[in-house]
Amino acid sequence: MNRLYQQKGFSLVELGVSLTIIAMVIAGVAAGVNLKNKLELNQVMEQVGHIGTALKTFKKTYNGYPGDMFDAEDKFGAADTNNGNGDFDLADTDETFLFWQHLSLAGLIEGNYNGTTDTKTSPLKNGVYTVTKTTSTGDIFISLQRTGANTGMLTNKQAWDIDTRFDDGIPTSGIIQAVDGAGETAGDCVNTTPTPDAYNLSNDDEEPCVMRFFIE
């Protein structure tokens, strides 16, 4: 029984070493997560750049927009796709899905798309790209959002990091922009006050931002 009282506990040095090792493990895990996230965001930018190049190549080759192409059935096979209406717009919902299918059938992007519901997926979990052609300016942008209708995908820090590294760092201008995702409170991603037109970096526990990449 006396032996129980003779057992030594951890010394302060041993305890300090153990805590240091635990801290290093935690720091290593955090660094690994940050590195993975950075790589995924870089992959997003590579994909967006590739989509932009694919769009330009398609227009040059077929003299029209993917998705809107009026003779797509003749070019790619009636059994494989459908025609757009050829009005040089992407206003119809079907055309925004045909956009990905036409690019794929032309061999300009990877993946198979049914032309009715499929969109291109992103490296980020549950992230997808959608395409929009604005009626007021004619610009085409690719949105990075969570699966669902215009739902936020990125934290403010992630959105700000992409915008700062590749554009002007302002969510309301330039070729990379951001908006509050569907269901978010106004200002969750893009400030309305006290510094409007800036990322709300104080909001660091949500993923409210939908990113928009203007490719034309």
Q: How much is the CA Rg of the chain, to the nearest whole Å?
A: 24
Residue 187's pLDDT is 92
Q: In 68-142, where does DSSP find H-type helix?
A: 72-76, 93-105
pTM of the model: 0.82
d(CA 159, CA 161): 5
d(CA 211, CA 84): 26
Residue type at 185 in one-letter notation: T
Residue 30's pLDDT is 45
Hey, what are 91's tokens?
Answer: 């206003």
Residue 8's pLDDT is 55
For 146-189, the pLDDT digits (tens) are 987 789 999 999 999 999 999 999 999 999 999 999 989 999 99
For 41-91, the pLDDT digits (tens) are 889 999 999 999 999 999 999 999 999 999 999 999 999 999 999 999 998
Q: In 63-179, where does DSSP find H-type helix?
A: 72-76, 93-105, 156-166
